[in-house]
Amino acid sequence: MKLGMIGLGRMGANMARRLMRGGHQCVGYDRNQANVAELVAYGAEAASSLEDLVAKLDAPRAVWVMVPAGGPTEETVLALGKLFAAGDTIIDGGNSFYKDDVRRSEMLAPKGVHYVDVGTSGGVWGLDRGYCLMMGGPKEAVTRLDPIFKTLAPGMGDIPRTPGRSDEGTAEQGYLYCGPSGSGHFVKMVHNGIEYGVMQAYAEGFDILRGANSDRLPRGLSYDLEIGDIAEVWRRGSVISSWLLDLTAQALASDEQLSSYTGFVEDSGEGRWTIAAALEEGVSAEVLSTALFTRFRSRIEHSFAEKVLSAMRKGFGGHVERPVEKVHPGL
């Protein structure tokens, strides 16, 4: 298939590369023309503007929007909505708020333009590992674009089939149609909320291990532990092994003190939205709430646990800490 890709940053460019590896054609656009040139060198077709991109696609068109959530996504969707015709599809693969998806879908529906929200997980490693995809929107549009989603997804790989599950559907291939507009990003939002909690548990655990050498502990009850080795042994056969633990082990292997991190931990919005959804539903979410509030506190005072969080965020998503001198106290 031929697909337009808007936003050729860390993830957008790699997604386009993975699609082209799978035999698809990509037309790329980014405000930074250097990013476009890099993708053209990989085999993509360049677009100089949104109008140019739309003109280079065959009807029914499909464009994947991979720009920051909020204003940039809203602006791009509105612009494409004016250029698109009935049967065309706008795919929002960023981390948009699911209620915005519902509004955009309703706004585009009178014109016959489909809007598909795709929660995308895979970070900077997705080019080779594949992307876990959670889709919401009109079923017919999602079905038509199945070859795109199948190529981007990781496939079964070496993960064994879950006992008791049939081989029907696409979930075990790493992509899933979740339901109507907003449902894809809703599922991804909760995914990221859970991610906050899992990361916080690792971070606090390693902080406790590091603190076992404190001179405040009674004689005979303190331990000088090699936490990098502990992370490594936990990766092998432990019930808490995971990709996040793999990334933590890599960071500790490079520098067990994580001295290149300050411990200032950002949140990207999905954690807040997950807690808001829990409040609306009347669902208890103590762990996820605490993990979110800990990130807020990390911007005032830092601990080793927050350095572990920063290391994991850089590992899976390429997130770089904000320079310390630009951080306003208390924000």
Radius of gyration (Cα) for the chain, nearest Å? 22
| SS3 of 135-177 | EECCHHHHHHCHHHHHHHCCCCCCCCCCCCCCCCCCHHHCEEE
Active-site choice (38, 56, 106, 188) = 188
Catalytic residue list contains 306: no
CB 14 within 8 A of CB 120: no
| Closest by Cα among 116, 108, 13, 22 to 63 | 116
| Closest by Cα among 97, 184, 95, 86 to 135 | 184
| Closest by Cα among 101, 121, 78, 39 to 317 | 121
Catalytic residue list contains 195: yes
Active-site choice (172, 195, 204, 321) = 195
Which residues does 34 contact at the CB level (< 8 Å), separation at least 6? none
Burial 2-15 (b: 16+ CB within 10 A, else e): ebbbbbbebbbbbb
User: Which residues carry out catalysis?
Assistant: 188, 195
